[in-house]
């Protein structure tokens, strides 16, 4: 099995270069823009997917670190995007032509304080804490993704996991160098708990970016990050187990939809956006009215990122 990505990283950032090196890809193309690329089409390896997905969002850090308006906007836009018929029609090609469905649960703002620098070990500790505290007791864990929304100023690092053993440059793989989020799973209490984690992407004092700043308001960046991660979770649920398995030949069968290069459904579009994030990060009109800030997903039928009609 080749190395598989389960992250979203800002194009041409140090994190993006670290991941490209890790999976054995050439450096970024010089010219921005995305042309059709059938060689990056996704292949079904037969692993777990979620044709019917539930998710629940936990805004970490407590109410003092989240504005009520941001929480409301994130909840509404993410639910609107994940349940939109046009967007799900595109995703339906990975589910036998039938659009997948999504059911959002009521979000919660929790006084669970993530470390200032939150790595994979800290993420798994928080997920375990949520489960032991009864926050996940009413959920069907077999089809639910737990979203961990990190508060402003928190740095997300993809360290402490199997990637280190496989040669990932962990010093570059954090949100100060372009990482936006990742998804994975944790074996707890005789079952599997699926999660996604994302940074509050914004420009910090001094101009440095934390995460992927693609829109004019940070909450929109949060929505786009979790739209990316939830679509990857529902098309490639057990990628974390595949990464843990490393070079074991059986690891390949754990994967859902990935390309030959190790990309999931959201990866190649954002990696190839170059300096123009607007090529794939867009506010799209929803069938129910209004708009949502998303990142376009890969579509085999157009051999590239596809926008809803």
In-domain check, residue 176:
yes
> Range of 84's domain?
7-24+46-304
- In the predicted model, residues of the chain with pLDDT beneath 50 are 1, 22-23, 25-32, 162-163, 165-166
Cα(235)–Cα(257) distance, rounded to whole angstroms?
6
* The predicted structure's pLDDT at residue 184: 96
**pTM of the prediction?**
0.88
Give residue 51's pLDDT. Answer: 98
- Cα distances (angstroms) measured from residue 218 to each of 62, 74, 167, 224: 18, 10, 32, 10
Residue 109 lies in a domain: yes
29 assigned to some structural domain: no
Residue 39 in any domain: the answer is no
pLDDT, residue 197, reads 98
Torsion of CA 246, 249, 250, 254, to 10 degrees: 60
pLDDT at 7: 59
Residue 14 lies in a domain: yes
Considering the domain boundaries, does residue 183 fall inside one? yes
pLDDT of residue 170: 58
Residue 35 lies in a domain: no
DSSP the chain: ------EEE-TTSHHHHHHHHHTTPPPPPSS------GGG--EE-S----SEEEEEEEEET-GGGS-HHHHHHHHHHHHHHHT-HHHHHHHGGGTTTSPPEEEEPPPEEE-----SEE-HHHHHHHHHHHHHTTTTTTS-TTTEEEEEEPPTTPEEB--SSHHHHTT--TTTSBGGGTEEEEEEEEEETTEEEEEEEE---EEPTTS-EES---SSSHHHHHHHHHHHHHHHHHHSTTHHHHHHHTT-GGGGGG--EE-TTS--TTHHHHHT-TT-GGGTEEEEE-TTSSEEEEEPPEETTTTEE----
CB within 8 Å of 237: residues ≥ 6 apart: 47, 48, 49, 50, 185, 194, 256
Domain tally, the chain: 1
Q: Let me know if residue 11 belongs to a domain.
A: yes
């Amino acid at each position: 099995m080749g190395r598989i990505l389960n992250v979203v990283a800002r194009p041409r950032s140090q994190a993006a270069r670290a991941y490209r090196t890790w999976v054995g890809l050439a450096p970024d193309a010089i010219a921005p823009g995305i042309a059709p690329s059938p060689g990056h089409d996704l292949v079904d390896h037969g692993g777990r997917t979620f044709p019917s997905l539930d998710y629940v969002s936990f805004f970490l850090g407590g109410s003092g670190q989240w504005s009520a308006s941001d929480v409301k906007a994130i909840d509404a836009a993410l639910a609107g995007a994940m349940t939109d018929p046009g967007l799900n029609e595109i995703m339906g090609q990975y589910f036998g032509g039938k659009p997948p469905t999504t059911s959002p649960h009521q979000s919660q703002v929790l006084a669970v304080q993530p470390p200032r620098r939150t790595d994979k070990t800290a993420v798994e500790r928080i997920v375990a804490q949520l489960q032991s505290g009864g926050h996940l007791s009413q959920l069907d864990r077999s089809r639910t993704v737990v979203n961990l929304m990190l508060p402003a100023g928190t740095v997300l690092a993809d360290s402490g996991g199997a990637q280190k053993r496989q040669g990932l440059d962990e010093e570059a793989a954090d949100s100060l160098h372009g990482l936006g989020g990742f998804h994975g799973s944790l074996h707890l209490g005789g079952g599997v708990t699926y999660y996604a984690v994302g940074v509050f992407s914004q420009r910090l004092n001094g101009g440095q970016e934390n995460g992927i700043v693609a829109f004019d308001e940070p909450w929109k960046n949060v929505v786009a990050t979790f739209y990316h991660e939830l679509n990857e979770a529902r098309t490639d649920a057990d990628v974390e187990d595949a990464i843990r398995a490393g070079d074991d030949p059986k690891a390949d069968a754990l994967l859902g939809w990935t390309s030959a290069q190790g990309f999931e459904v959201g990866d190649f579009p954002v990696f190839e956006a170059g300096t123009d994030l607007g090529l794939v990060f867009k506010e799209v009109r929803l069938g129910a009215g209004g708009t949502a800030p998303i990142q376009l997903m890969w579509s085999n039928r157009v051999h590239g990122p596809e926008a809803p009609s």
